[in-house]
Structure 1
Amino acid sequence: MSPKKEIAYQGEPGAYSESAVYKFFGDTAIAVPCKGFSDVFKKVEIGETEYGVVPIENSIEGSVNQVYDLFLMYDHKVCGEIVLKIDHCLIANKGTKLDDIKVIYSHPQALAQCRNFLETLNCEIISTYDTAGSVKMIKEKRMMNAGAVASEKAAKIYGMEILSKNISDTPNNLTRFFVLSKNDAAASGNDKTSIIFSTKHIPGALYQALGEFAKRGINLTKIESRPTKRQPWEYNFYLDFEGHRTEKRCTEALEGLRNKAVFVKVLGSYPKASEISNTI
């Protein structure tokens, strides 16, 4: 029997990242909670866990920029992706009514994804490091005038009451997660590749760089810019494209990009997420 895999994730038991761990690795996986995203990267770096799972973008609020920045600091590879449906709930201690709520806690991404609902409550909104961690906190402190935005699973784990379900701004709230390790995945025939690159600050540089993919018929599924943080108004580009880095056309496109770009980092190739999973 193969040993159980240990997978680091950010948050407390009941966090959406924990659900993503079990969706990808199965119920026998050992999910290892971490305080921050950087802790997930560190655990994989020093070999405390073989894998880590981190959110990379949300369909409402966009990319999780801190995670992209961490990929620049570490040499980890993306070896898988998960797309998880996010069903936020307003959670409180048993006996607390909606009218009792004066303050609401959660991770900044979760609060932003429920902005319309939260604005109707006229409550103080306070950001914390985790959705499930917020539920745990108001439980341990017996805060009867507080609520937390988190999953139904978190409410069950901590024995709390759900005051409102499905409070996201849109019903189709999805988060995409990356599975990171020290190696990426072998070609599956239905893959994506993620890279980071920067170009010279001259006219047509980005157009020429992207042309390496266009002329080989490679479909780009995402492109986004982020400040390099080295010089004002200089940017890195984060790009996802269909195909595995070992495929001939992808290898040629990457080589062509390297000839035109200032910097190229391949984050990894991995099988496309097969389906959208519901939170467990």
Structure 2
Amino acid sequence: MEVNSKKKEFIVAIQGERGSYSEVAATRLLGDKVTLRCCERFEEVFKLTAESDAQYCLIPLENSLSGSIHKNYDLLLRHKLKITREINLQIKHNLITMPGVSFKEISTVFSHPVALDQCDRFFEKFPGLVKRSAYDTSGSVKRIMEENLRDCAAIAGKQAAEYYGGNIVMKEIQDNKENFTRFVLLGRELETRKKADKTSIAFSFGNAAGALFKCLSVFALRDIDLTKIESRPIHGRPWEYLFYLDFLGNTGQESTLKALDHLRELTEFLEILGCYPRDASHEKKGM
């Protein structure tokens, strides 16, 4: 099955409320005809998709500043979902209040812990503001609007302010303007699109001298470009690791097939997590 956003409407599970960065990423990938299933926890998002209550889910895998979201790597393999698309979304944090509230009235700021951390310089400039963690950026806007919290603000994207009718009192307060989150669209089946040029895999191997070097050499020998490698502990096997790897190539290409066949000979476990079109926007040139 191949995603075609022009022909049908999709039920997509996301973590967070309406107006979230996840919703923006979903609509950019699939268009406006998306029915969202909003969940509080990532575990719920994966479960809805794995149990066919949603056709797809869209989750963040990594941020250009804070790094990988390790829990989602673990959940991806546990629920046996496959990556079908990706998008790199620029994150712009704004300070949002109820309409008519001025900055000097604010005493407390709600947001997701990562968003709060990414606005450290803002809080250094205004040390009197109290930070309060929440499970979601857009959910923080929803809360201050629904509970009429006139002495509170939320940090979220402009789409959250638009959806809940909030007022942006300060724009783009994040420390670093080069702030991007890589979102992936997950489904239950492996979808290999004609324009797919990126593949994600997971593998593990026995503890032996030079084992990782040998595994990575299967790609170097065939001039296959690796774009990411991530290790995660294997539960129940202390100090042993599972590796997640992204590389440029389609699983239908001869060089990719040979590399994967070679890798199978060197590993105890190998799983293809997806073959999909890469989002080359916002990539640093010359890497």
Which bracket does the TM-score occupy, shorter chain normalised? over 0.9
Partner in structure 2 of residue 235 of structure 1: 241
How far apart in 2 are the matches of 1:269 and 1:117?
40
Partner in structure 1 of residue 199 of structure 2: 193
**Does residue 1:28 correspond to 2:15, yes or no?**
no
Q: Which amino acid aligns with 1:252?
A: K
Shift of 1:111: 1.9
Partner in structure 1 of residue 153 of structure 2: 147
The 5 Å alignment of 1:147-226 reads: 147-226=153-232
Partner in structure 2 of residue 10 of structure 1: 15
Q: Which amino acid aligns with 1:89?
A: N
Compute the TM-score of the two structures, normalised by the length of structure 2. 0.90
Shift in alpha-carbon separation, 1:191–1:94, aligned structure 2, 3 A: same
Per-residue CA shift, 1:8-30, capped at 9, x if unaligned? 11111100000011000011222
**Does residue 1:56 correspond to 2:61, yes or no?**
yes
Q: Which amino acid aligns with 1:194?
A: S
Please tell me whether the aligned partners of residues 61 and 112 of structure 1 are also in contact (alpha carbons under 8 angstroms).
no
Q: Which amino acid aligns with 2:59?
A: V
How far apart in 1 are the matches of 2:194 and 2:119?
37
Shift in alpha-carbon separation, 1:233–1:104, aligned structure 2, 3 A: farther
Shift in alpha-carbon separation, 1:6–1:258, aligned structure 2, 3 A: same
**Does residue 1:93 correspond to 2:98, yes or no?**
yes
Segment drifting more, 136-145 vs 223-232: 223-232
The correspondence for 2:257, drawn from 251, 254, 259, is: 251
The correspondence for 2:76, drawn from 52, 71, 79, is: 71
**Does residue 1:131 correspond to 2:157, yes or no?**
no
Shift in alpha-carbon separation, 1:161–1:37, aligned structure 2, 3 A: same
Per-residue CA shift, 1:42-78, capped at 9, x if unaligned? 1111111111111111111111111111012111110
Per-residue CA shift, 1:223-277, capped at 9, x if unaligned? 122222333433222210001223222122122222212322221111112546x
Q: Which amino acid aligns with 2:71?
A: Q
Residue segments in structure 2 that go unaligned for 5+ positions in a row: 1-5, 283-287
Residue segments in structure 1 that go unaligned for 5+ positions in a row: none
> How large is the RMSD of aligned CA atoms in angstroms?
1.8
Per-residue CA shift, 1:57-102, capped at 9, x if unaligned? 1111111111111012111110110111111101112233323322
How far apart in 1 are the matches of 2:133 and 2:232?
23
Please tell me whether the aligned partners of residues 111 and 140 of structure 2 are also in contact (alpha carbons under 8 angstroms).
yes
Shift of 1:190: 4.6
2:268 is paired with a residue whose SS is strand
Segment drifting more, 206-215 vs 237-246: 237-246
1:55 is paired with a residue whose SS is strand
Shift of 1:126: 2.1
Aligned residues: 276
The 5 Å alignment of 1:88-127 reads: 88-122=93-127, 123-127=129-133
Q: Which amino acid aligns with 2:252?
A: T
Partner in structure 1 of residue 285 of structure 2: none
Segment drifting more, 128-137 vs 36-45: 36-45
The correspondence for 2:89, drawn from 80, 84, 88, is: 84
